[in-house]
Structure formats: C-alpha cells, structure tokens
Amino acid sequence: ETGVTQTPRHLVMGMTNKKSLKCEQHLGHNAMYWYKQSAKKPLELMFVYNFKEQTENNSVPSRFSPECPNSSHLFLHLHTLQPEDSALYLCASSQGAGNEKLFFGSGTQLSVL
C-alpha cells in the first residue's frame, strides 16, 4: 500500500445530496492534493494544500469545498453536484509542495445521479 487511504471507495449520490470524501496519509508528508480523473482526459488538479494552507485552487466550482484540518487529513465536501462531476477522485501527498514524487490513494469512484 502507498500509505494514503481514501474513503469511501465508491459513492453514489443524488444532485441534492451533501457528502464528503476523506483522505488520510500516514507518511508524515506536508502537502496534500485532490485530483479528478475522468476517462480519456488528463488528470485535473483541483486543490493543493501545503502545511494545511491552500496554495492552489485550479478554478474548481464552489460545489466542491476542500478542508485540511491537519497535515495528515484532507476532505472534499460535495454538495449540489452535477452528473458531469461523476469521476474518480484521487488524493495524493508529498513531502513538500515542491517535491514531485506523489503518493496516491486508490481513489473514490463517484457517481452523481
């Protein structure tokens, strides 16, 4: 295992629901990331946190709300999503935000009905 754990593995939600994705890393890293993976499209960087501070928000719609309470935990709060938001959401961590060796979790497969 990579040391990055994501829960749940699968999530089905309606457009009016509110849900949260959780990511936890046991590697002592200081930077954490959310990526969106859709079939046949480049991995899309969503958010970057370095030492619990958000350093990048890649023009993500406000229906996605990240939270990083400490360097080991990262959440992605979801509300009023659209069907096109269905994708695999990957969390990653690295030693620092300038260290490119990322360690990825297995992802949460999200389906929005």
**Residue 39 burial class via C-beta count within 10 angstroms: exposed 0-12, middle 13-18, buried 19 and up:** exposed
Using CB under 8 A, which of 11, 21, 30, 31 touches another protein?
31
Min dist CB 33 to another protein, Å, is 6
Length of the chain: 113
What span, in angstroms and rounded, lies between the C-alpha atoms of 29 and 72? 7
Residue position matching structure tokens 């939270």: 67
Interaction of residue 27 with another protein, rule CB under 8 A: no
4 binds another protein (CB under 8 A): yes
* Whole-number Å distance between alpha carbons of 109 and 96: 27
Which listed range, 11-19, 66-74, 78-86, 96-104, lies at the site for another protein (CB under 8 A)? 96-104
Q: Which is nearer to another protein, 75 or 103 (CB)?
A: 103
Q: Which two tokens stand for residue 12?
A: 């089905």
What residue ranges bind another protein (CB under 8 A)?
Answer: 2, 4, 6, 31, 33, 35, 40-43, 45, 48, 50, 55-56, 90, 92, 97-98, 100-107
